[in-house]
Amino acid sequence: MINGKSLGPVCLTGLAIASLSCSNLAKNSNPNIVVILADDMGWGDINANGNDNISTPVLNRLKSESLSFDRFYVCPLSAPTRAEMLTGRYFLRTGVSSVTRGYENMRSDEVTIAEVLKDNGYSSGCFGKWHNGRYFSQHPNRQGFDEFVGFPVGHLGYYYDAWFLHNDEEKQSSGYTSDFFTGKAIDFIERNRDNPFLCLVTYNVPHSPFQVPEKYFDKYRQAGLDSTLSCIYGMVENMDENIGKIIDKLEELEIAENTIVIFFSDNGPNTDRYNGGMKGRKGSVDEGGVRVPFYIKWPGKIKPSETDQLAQDIDIMPTLLGMCGVKYNPEKPFDGTDLSGIIKGNQKEFDRLIFSRQGNQNLEECNSSVRNNTYRLVLTRRDTLLYNMIDDPGQLNDISFNDKETTGTLLDHLVRHNEELISNYQPVTTIEAGFSEEKSFTLPVQDASLSGKIRYSSIHPNQSHTENWTRDGDSIVWTLNIVSKGTYKVALQYGCTAENTGSQMELVTGSGTLSFMISEPFESEILPERDYVKRSESVERTWSWMDIGNVELDQGREEITIKLVSRSREEAGLIKALKFTRLN
């Protein structure tokens, strides 16, 4: 008996160790992946790209240790680039076409790189800006990321102590956002050091509003740069330091050799500034709007060098799967190309067509372009322009009249490419809610339609609130598709001075009308001024919540309206959002 008792556990322990080391061996053959994405940073915002006014020692070193793609292209705006990176497909196929009002939403049945890697034993985390949909099925947790610490929309209103989502839970951070997201990414890397992981770090800089800790700003201001540039370069330098912390952590954990690190930006620079003499900036389909730095590093596996191979964001997913040896047959075909052969140096560079476009309109109503090794053809609402990018990288001389053949050929490619995309394009702007696993959902006013005199607090609906509730009968309405019937407790996010309390309001849904009154004052305050440049975004304020009662939402199409019935004074207050918490 004594022998039996002591033998049992020994055998079990031995087996457990054997199986653990066996699975670790299998897992460790897959490299970790860290993808770092900047927001509104141009090709020229790196010292190693010829910018003597900015200090980016970490990115300089990363470039020198990487294969640097010097002809790397993304979309003119944020959400489209992110959808293309995540799926390997042109943004219009994914439902995405712009940056706000639901046009940033990616279809939930798109298969992301995180989902594929997860199926292959990876853990996955996303830290920072998401911008491909805020609602339940579009959330990073339902698009393959085990962990999300960030914000779902196009920008934050305030970069200190910001409100963010930890998975589905809303929390308040502390400190400057880039520092905060870096800390969370490092924490994820530490916890996952022993298994393969995908860590996506999506900084929200140097996107506006222009806020950065003082010392970064002061350095550039004292060097004589203007406030805007000082803040932008300060934001980039702070990000550069934070990227250094991530790279140092990989080395400290001794996993750098088995980790692929990628750095790039989501579109061209957000202001006119040094960008290597290229034409265009963020939003433009010219070279400067869509060409960004792209570095890929894998010590011992990727030879540090520079390539002029044309490449783009839709190549990232097929290339990473190729680098990791992950077999995957996409049901929805990739538009991108697996460049792992180019990266390993066993495939010759090749010419190809890189398409760029804005929005979801037909070609006559937007700007578009197509690029190959030699030429860029640009189609605007008025003109068809052709540039020789080797002789004329700044796009100064239109040669379409002299080279009608190339113009005709490229125009033909551009038109056929766009006809196919536009004819299959379907936006996902209707809000989907009421999933059985969904505990609550929030409807921000930025996704509502406003009527009467009610207006947004900024020209950008993103992160705005509504104001000017000054006329009885005015309302705002959200259109939803409710997946399953449920009863919800509803709360209103608002601000209202003591003298403006007492207005009669209504919440109207398909199942009836709920009357309520804003009776509890909340003096909503604008957060302390920390902008270095006057903002076009909404100011950020403090908010309160009030319960307004319970409602039933039926399955199917639902319109949810907040209506001002009768004011007690001039204005009824400020309204930011509605929150629905499921009771059953």
Binding site for Ca ion (CB under 5 A): 39-40, 78, 266-267
Cβ-closest position to Ca ion: 78
Taking alpha carbons only, the member of 298, 300, 306 closest to residue 322 is 298
Under a CB-based contact definition with an 8 Å cutoff, are residues 132 and 77 in contact?
no
Distance of closest approach, residue 432 Cβ to Ca ion, in angstroms: 25
Nearer residue to Ca ion within complex by CB, 357 or 563? 357
Report the residue number, 78 or 360, with the smaller CB distance to Ca ion: 78
Least distance CB 266 / Ca ion (angstroms): 4
Assign 3-state DSSP to the chain and report helix, strand, coil percentages, each to 5.
30, 25, 45
Q: Whole-number minimum distance, CB 556 to Ca ion, in Å?
A: 36
Q: Least distance in Å: CB of 256 to Ca ion?
A: 28
**HSE on the CB side for 130, CA within 13 Å?**
28
Asked if 51 contacts 44 with a C-beta cutoff of 8 angstroms, the reply is yes
Which one, 79 or 370, has the nearer CB to Ca ion?
79
Nearer to Ca ion, 31 or 461 (CB): 461
Please report how close the Cβ of residue 444 comes to Ca ion at its closest, in angstroms: 20
Closest approach of Ca ion to the CB of residue 80, in Å: 10
Angle between helices 227-252 and 177-191 (to 10 degrees): 10
Distance from CA of residue 202 to its chain's centroid?
7
Q: Is 70 exposed, middle or buried (0-12, 13-18, 19+ CB in 10 A)?
A: middle
Identify which of 205, 168, 194, 229 has the alpha carbon closest to the alpha carbon of residue 433. Answer: 168
Q: Shortest approach of Ca ion to residue 268 CB, angstroms?
A: 9
Strands (DSSP E) along 430-543, which ranges?
431-433, 440-444, 449-450, 455-456, 466-467, 475-482, 486-495, 504-509, 512-517
Give me the least distance between CB of 207 and Ca ion, in Å please: 6
CA distance 301 to 261: 12
Strand 291-297 versus strand 384-388 pairing type = unpaired
> Given the complex with Ca ion, which of 207 and 279 has the nearer CB atom?
207
Nearer to Ca ion, 282 or 567 (CB): 282
Closer to Ca ion by CB, 78 or 358: give it: 78
Helix (H, G, I), strand (E, B) or coil at 469: coil
Is the Cβ of residue 524 or residue 538 nearer to Ca ion in the bound state? 538
Least separation in angstroms between CB 82 and Ca ion: 9
Nearer to Ca ion, 314 or 343 (CB): 314
Q: 92 or 476: whose CB is closer to Ca ion?
A: 92
- Give dist(CA 235, CA 56) in Å, integer: 11
Q: Which is nearer to Ca ion, 39 or 432 (CB)?
A: 39
| Terminal CA-CA length for the chain | 55
Distance of closest approach, residue 243 Cβ to Ca ion, in angstroms: 17
Which pair of tokens denotes residue 477? 């309405």
In DSSP notation, 239-276 reads HHHHHHHHHHHHHHTT-GGGEEEEEEESSS-SSS--ST
* Smallest separation (angstroms) from Ca ion to the CB of 315: 19
Q: How far is the CB of 129 from Ca ion (least distance, A)?
A: 8
Dump the DSSP string for 332-359: S--SS---HHHHHT-S------EEEE-S
For 102-257, where are the alpha helices, taking DSSP H only? 113-119, 177-191, 214-222, 227-252
The amino acid present at 162, given as its one-letter code, is A
- Report the C-alpha gap between 238 and 224 in whole angstroms: 19
Nearest CA among 341, 345, 338, 302 for reference residue 319: 338
* 36 phi and psi angles, rounded to 5 deg: -110, 125
- Count of alpha carbons within 13 angstroms of residue 291, beta-carbon side: 28
Closer to Ca ion by Cβ: residue 292 or 496 = 292
To the nearest whole angstrom, how small is the minimum distance from the Cβ of residue 40 to Ca ion?
Answer: 4
Q: Which is nearer to Ca ion, 38 or 116 (CB)?
A: 38
Using a 10 angstrom Cβ sphere, with 0-12 exposed, 13-18 middle and 19 or more buried, the burial of residue 428 is buried
